[in-house]
Copies of this chain bind each other. A is one copy, B any other.
Amino acid sequence: MSLTNLDLVNQCDAFPYPAADSSTYLASVNTYYQLRVSGYNYALGYMLPSVVEVFRGVPNWEIDDDARILVLTAGSNAEERSKAVETTLLAMRETGHFKVLSKWRGELYAVYGAGKELLFNVERSASPLFGVVTYGVHLTAYTWKDGQVKIWTPRRAKTKQTYGGMLDNAVAGGIASGESPFESLVRESEEEASLPEQLVRSKARACGTVTYWYVRDERAGGETNLMQPEVQYVYDLELPEDTVPKPGDDEVEEFYLWSVEEVQEAMRNGQFKPNCALVALDFLIRHGILTSENERDYIEIASRLHRKLEFPTL
């Protein structure tokens, strides 16, 4: 296997783009159902018809097959809607309707409206059923050694249910509803890499977002082809030479301190978790390592790492 950097982007940002010729795009979009909440006339996510079918006749939900829309009809505020969503999902988990629900996390993700208001919370494992935008933090930890940048690269535990044994960014995690990106980063840095809170608070630097539209495959576990549009808040952290990240839980097997060439080779070999490869590409571009001189698809990659998602975001 030898993947180009654009191949890596295509693997993770897999939903088609509306082009000047928009027929392919429209044909693709029209395969799905929109998720909406009552009173808001825009889509919050795209759902597979096979998923929508399971909501047919379920209280608090209405399906408009002509317009291809699933509407959450219950509730007039976030709390009421969240309760209705939870009730539905708990019942579906009970009846074993969806494989993804067997990985119930007990963590809530936020779904926002066009005015950035919270519309409802949804159990993390269920979010790809609805195809709503989810939010995470990814940190690249690096060290200068002998005049070269070295990147701390963890390998995920082989026993991890999703992307087991694949390479990751130094710290990565989902943002729970109500948590700020930076507080999420501080928490995850301690949990996953044993990085001291004070170091992260004083030295981690926000560097933008990486956004993409993932379509889930087998490696993600559960149903495939579910939509997962994501926003990753990216951070850089330059570590002193004597600071070594250590697995803080059982999710990481080992941390490697790799040269840029070693990271790039592992990327070409498809060893990185798909979205982590994108965060690594963003790092390499921002730090002048990937340039228009050495990367044929520089312009396209720089755009694709920052996809404008078609649903409201925070």
Contacts and interface: CB of A to CB of B under 8 A. Distances in A.
A291 B204 CA distance: 12
Per assembly, the copies of the chain total: 2
Q: Which of A26, A42, A181, A286 has the most CB of B within 10 A?
A: A286
A145 interface: no
Contacts of A207: 285-288
Contacts of A293: 180-182
A19 B310 contact: yes
A17 interface: yes
6 contacts: A180-B292, A181-B293, A182-B291, A182-B293, A207-B286, A299-B314
Interface stretch (A55-63, A82-90, A242-250, A301-309): A301-309
B20 A42 contact: yes
Contact of A17 (B19, B308, B313): B308
Contacts of A306: 302-303, 305-306
B300 A181 contact: no
A211 B314 contact: no
A20 B231 CA distance: 18
A304 B298 CA distance: 17
Interface of A: 17-22, 25-26, 29, 34, 42-43, 116, 180-182, 205-209, 211, 231, 233, 285-288, 291-293, 296, 298-300, 302-311, 313-314
A150 B251 CA distance: 42
A206 B291 contact: yes
Closest 4 CB pairs of A and B: A18-B18, A306-B306, A205-B288, A303-B308
A231 B43 contact: no
Contacts of A208: 285-286, 302
